[in-house]
A and B are shown apart, each in its own frame.
Chain A
């Protein structure tokens, strides 16, 4: 994992960068990682500050999304006297490119088209902002649901390669630094070296991990729950193998895991989180639908949001699946998993 300390320079120079510099950077970043952890350990357990992202830096992360949506609205509206169909068609295109999703885009655009005669072009930006804010609000609270003095289970699911394991590493680190007692269940017993990857993260975060390669994932979950209960842990995070939602048997396996949780620790399932890669297109909505049925999702985490112009997926998911986004991944550093705040997001994109 490289943690980019240095601001990006222009390519030409970079391309010629020799290996020594690269090496130094890596060493430097390794050091940074340590200090980051230490810093966080010192944070008061009640404070969530390290995990909140300021509007300013969020703005930087979603700048491409913002450019895509807002600049276009502004530029289409500039100089125009009235809102016409062509203008709305152009804006519709931009929303689609931001991966907001077809249905949501069409719905929002049609809503505005209906009242196009009573609005001025310079009002468009605020109208869109309100629409999106409303969608995010209606999807529910963005706060992770954890109860005091009891076991909280967080189940993490998703298709292959979305970043589940990395997210769990970061999540464990976050709660560890809040002095919670954590255990991770490595129930991805299928992918080569998935457990080792998680072990490295667990070590970095300094938390317990339980799992066995090539065994039944439901059995791992069972063991983990017993251990979590015996040792009165606060949080059990369950990593599962990536699976495509159209694989019947794999989805059945997931239902079995859910069943074990419900049976062994009723009421303990605090969050059932689907992890979605921000680069995912329309299929993301379909994934969410199927996973929602299988494991009763409570929320979504959107990873790899930095670097993508597609922050729009946050809006599409909230609208079409009625699931709140609670976590966003905005970089590779251990602290780059942030709480999602709907208001800040809309502000970062629009203002």
Chain B
């Protein structure tokens, strides 16, 4: 659905001027494209407008039009500007107060309860002694949910049975913490609409009474244009100290991050990256900027791979590659694992390959997947022995295989030859990675070998 902004910019410049130069004529078209890309990433219109006028000034100032690669330069300006807007560096969480009180709030379904559990683990790792406080007295089973999470991560949860008075719950929790040596309270409050004055008042009362050191707004990364109103309203009432962006493991571009940063001027402190309770990470503005621009998403791809690949069998595979023992059987297994990552098109979409637009990508994926199916059919027509030792496949075996899978012999020949070559290449790669692991310095000399990794240099946009 979304094409990468960098592709689009290159395209539009080429289309309007016949070459890769940016002119005064097509600059407005280009800015419109940037605007659209930001809107598609759910950045608030108000923020987009301010942003575009800033970019306009910068473009004029830096004379992008005279650059040889105006498209790339433009993307860089936008990228830098985005990262800066979201706050250059990460702001750590406050430890002030005895006990230190952290209050979580947000709309219904933004992920507060899960986030509370994740935050507790995070703080325990920093040698704090957290107590979770169940102050969502409205949603059915919300307290039970926090208790279950607490049990899973072995962190105590403070509850008051049958009480709907959040004020007294928190004040008892503070007393309980003081008595029992908990230095950090994480208060999970009920979800509420920012326009619900009664429920907002409840939060304000808590805030005034207990003066939490951290007032963290939890916002769903998939939120659309409404994010700016939500953030502004909560900030107005409660003067939030930071934001946690949840569910960023989805594929939303997360333009909400930009809107929130712009609207509140408050730092995004953490991002939720999965349903597992250790999936809370520090926020990196640069990664977020890449994501908003659609400059590939290597990080997600790696994470997906980690989720789906069996590390042990991968190690085993590497050993086989080094010893040139890699068989057709192994090849099939790898194909199977690749498929668990998604379609070829999806995988390619996550890679930042310059010039690979959506159509080209789908074309490659289509041809590739067709090819793979033929190869699979071919392998399936082989005996286990043939799969292990393809070198024993001579003409009579080839005839049988061809008969079995309906693929002409010359194609089978070609495939077997390619497989031999691939095996050789794999051995080289496997040797290289193992050298790299043992001796990273040697790697740099390899980079400069002809045909080595150095040949790839400059072909990918810089990743920070």
Contacts and interface: CB of A to CB of B under 8 A. Distances in A.
Interface string B199-232: 1111011000000000000001011111101100
Nearest to A165: B140
Given A161-B108, A197-B141, A281-B42, A307 B198 contact: no
Given A19-B167, A310-B225, A160 B45 contact: no
B111 A160 contact: yes
A277 B225 contact: no
Contacts of A97: 44-45, 225
B1 A197 contact: no
Contacts of A93: 45
A279 B224 contact: yes
Contacts of A1: 138-140
B140 A197 contact: yes
Given A23-B164, A193-B141, A282-B224, A307 B193 contact: yes
Nearest to A3: B138
Given A1-B140, A11-B197, A161-B220, A96 B109 contact: no
Interface in B295-313: 304, 307-308
Interface string A156-194: 000111110000010000000000000000000011111
A280 B145 contact: no
B108 A280 contact: no
Interface residues of A, number: 63
B148 A306 contact: no
Interface string B235-252: 001000000000101111
Given A246-B250, A307-B193, A282 B139 contact: no
Contacts of A199: 141
Interface in B52-68: none
B39 interface: yes
A22 B230 CA distance: 23
Nearest to B145: A193
Nearest to A250: B275
Nearest to B204: A15
Interface residues of B, number: 67
B89 interface: no
Contacts of A22: 164-165, 198, 202
Nearest to A94: B45
A324 B291 CA distance: 31
B256 A281 contact: yes
Contact of A159 (B110, B144, B247): B247
B201 A15 contact: yes
B41 interface: yes
B85 interface: no
Interface in A72-114: 93, 96-99, 102
B391 interface: no
Most interface-central of B36, B229, B255 (chain A CB within 10 A): B229
Contacts of A245: 250-251
A14 B202 CA distance: 9
B40 interface: yes
Given A96-B45, A193-B142, A307-B193, A8 B225 contact: no
23 contacts: A2-B138, A8-B198, A22-B202, A99-B224, A99-B226, A159-B250, A160-B275, A169-B140, A193-B147, A245-B251, A247-B249, A248-B304, A248-B341, A280-B220, A280-B223, A281-B223, A281-B224, A281-B227, A282-B40, A283-B222, A283-B224, A304-B108, A310-B225
Q: Which 4 A-B pairs have the closest CB atoms?
A: A281-B224, A161-B109, A192-B148, A193-B145
Interface of A: 1-2, 4, 6, 8-11, 14-17, 19, 22-23, 25-26, 93, 96-99, 102, 159-163, 169, 190-194, 196-197, 199-201, 244-249, 277, 279-287, 289, 304, 306-310, 313
Given A1-B138, A9-B197, 8 more contacts: A4-B198, A8-B196, A11-B201, A163-B109, A192-B152, A200-B140, A281-B227, A307-B194
